[in-house]
Structure 1
Amino acid sequence: MAWFASLVVLGAVYVAALAFRLVRHLAVCFRGPKDIRRCYGTWATITGPTSGIGWSLAVELARSGLNLVLVGQDPAKLRDISQTICRAAPTVKTQDSSLGLSLLATAHSDEAMRRLRQTVEALDVGVLVNNAGVLEPCAVFLHEAGAEEWVDMRVNLLALTEVTAAVIPGMVDRGRGAVVNLGSASSEAIPSLPLYTMYAATKRYVARFSKSLHFEYRSKGIDVQCQAPFFVAGTMASAFVEARRFMPLTPTPETYARTAVRWIGHGPLCVPILGHRIMWFFSGIVPDFLLDEMLLHDHLWQRKELQSIRSLPTSG
């Protein structure tokens, strides 16, 4: 019966570990919000703030009292979010920084990056949110992706890296700061993401980049974190056929942003939404080979649907 006792002990330890994670999650969700302005600084820099999660995160950071440096490639949309922030938090200041994120690490981006470095050097930037990301091409085999789509995918890698390298020196000098990188559960909670290979691979880079920087800079007073959500309502989530199945567990960008800001500074990898943690738990129970086959089946079906849509004649 020794084997049975061993299984009981292992089961109890596993259940205790799950209970500890749940209690810790609930403790962060339900306690009073952290004063991130006092902990880190008076300014935040956020990339990709003109839509979706980025828009909601920018508004939520402003409501927390942080002034914002808004980094994106469309000046008109940057003005729109600036005006929205002014209405939501009239005392908050904003600065727009127009930067073609898909052109980073090229000669075309040198001047824009120089301006961004000058901007953040003059401010008390205590929080950086690397939100900008690219999902397309959707539901394609690797050989079907065009050169332009390959170039755009560099946003997930180089924008994150270069903007962090531009902002973090000031945090080091001040001995405080927080870096939040938006990753994805697609690279952490499931074994593969067929037909979205480039996206999942770049998001894996985000997680490893974040965890390594967390240990590299924590002695300097800087918290580096990767947030790895599942589906959040919006354009990007609608690209996945699985999002329809998990609609009850899919938060709005506003709900995600409110919870995400509470999680800043709490560990190198986090899943802010409780519903997403439930999805993460069940994805760990299902055998990898079964998840792989299910996802491949779904994405092949989606590929067929998208091909049908693309082949439709345009009107007018």
Structure 2
Amino acid sequence: MFLRPPKNLKRSYGSWAVITGSTDGIGKAIAMELVSEGLNLVLVGRDSLKLESTSSEIRRRIGDRVSIRTIVIDFAKVGGEEIEKRIGGLDVGVLINNAGLAYPFARFFHEVDLNLMESVVGVNIVGATWVTKAVLAGKIHRAALRASILSLT
């Protein structure tokens, strides 16, 4: 704060933020902070009731100054390819990949059963990868548009 002024995230990066794991803890706190900066939100989570609760809480605090969309998806069960369809066309400037899954208690790697390991990999690797791909595609497209506009001027 003392070295340089804060960035206007909306103007510098884009008007939307996508947050996975946005219904509890750090993800929810980040959602509250980003919405206070004027960013529209796409809240991604596996529990529709928690997503609705978080969305309602944000709307109560901030009002109708921003748009909020929710996407219910459990990355432990599906790969996340549908994320690209759901956020396509949005000017997503910020991605917070916060969804994560861990073992319920400490275990050695060879002691973890296959179903749990597939869930951990699905959430922590596959889901995060698909969301990043979805956001990156739009960012590359917008960067190319900006570059072509700058070359015309």
1:117 to 64, 78, 84: 84
Q: Is 1:38 paired with 2:11?
A: yes
**Partner of 2:54 in structure 1?**
81
**Partner of 2:134 in structure 1?**
166
- Superposition deviation, residue 98 in structure 1: 0.8
Written as runs of structure 1 = structure 2, the 5 A alignment for 1:244-259 is none
- Superposition deviation, residue 92 in structure 1: 1.4
**Partner of 2:94 in structure 1?**
127
2:35 to 50, 62, 69: 62
Q: Is 1:144 paired with 2:122?
A: no
**Partner of 1:223 in structure 2?**
none
Residue 102 of structure 1 aligns with an amino acid whose one-letter code is: A
Written as runs of structure 1 = structure 2, the 5 A alignment for 1:89-104 is 89-90=62-63, 91-104=65-78
Instruction: Tell me the percent identity.
Output: 40
Cα distance in structure 2, aligned partners of 1:156 and 1:68: 21
Cα distance in structure 2, aligned partners of 1:164 and 1:142: 27
Written as runs of structure 1 = structure 2, the 5 A alignment for 1:205-284 is none
Cα distance in structure 1, aligned partners of 2:52 and 2:61: 14
Q: Could you give the per-residue CA deviations for residues 262-282 of structure 1, whole angstroms, max 9, x where no partner exists? A: xxxxxxxxxxxxxxxxxxxxx
- Give the conservation status (yes or no) of the 8 Å contact 1:36–1:64: yes
Cα distance in structure 2, aligned partners of 1:173 and 1:69: 19
- Give the conservation status (yes or no) of the 8 Å contact 1:47–1:54: yes
How well do the aligned residues superpose, as a CA RMSD in angstroms?
Answer: 2.0
Cα distance in structure 2, aligned partners of 1:168 and 1:85: 26
| Between structures 1 and 2, the one with greater helix share | 1
Q: Which aligned segments of 4 or more residues in structure 1 are displaced greater than 3 angstroms?
A: none
Q: Which protein, 1 or 2, shows the higher relative CO under an 8 Å CA cutoff with sep ≥ 6?
A: 2
Q: Could you give the per-residue CA deviations for residues 4-31 of structure 1, whole angstroms, max 9, x where no partner exists? A: xxxxxxxxxxxxxxxxxxxxxx856xx5
- Superposition deviation, residue 53 in structure 1: 0.4
1:69 aligns to what SS in structure 2? strand
Residue 99 of structure 2 aligns with an amino acid whose one-letter code is: A
1:50 aligns to what SS in structure 2? coil
Structure 1, unpaired ranges of 5+: 1-25, 177-219, 221-316
- Give the conservation status (yes or no) of the 8 Å contact 1:72–1:100: yes
- Superposition deviation, residue 145 in structure 1: 1.5
- Give the conservation status (yes or no) of the 8 Å contact 2:89–2:138: no
- Give the conservation status (yes or no) of the 8 Å contact 2:40–2:68: yes
Which of these two proteins has the greater Rg computed from alpha carbons? 1
2:44 aligns to what SS in structure 1? strand
**Partner of 1:156 in structure 2?**
124
Cα distance in structure 2, aligned partners of 1:104 and 1:161: 12
Q: Could you give the per-residue CA deviations for residues 240-289 of structure 1, whole angstroms, max 9, x where no partner exists? A: xxxxxxxxxxxxxxxxxxxxxxxxxxxxxxxxxxxxxxxxxxxxxxxxxx
2:120 aligns to what SS in structure 1? helix
Cα distance in structure 2, aligned partners of 1:27 and 1:135: 38
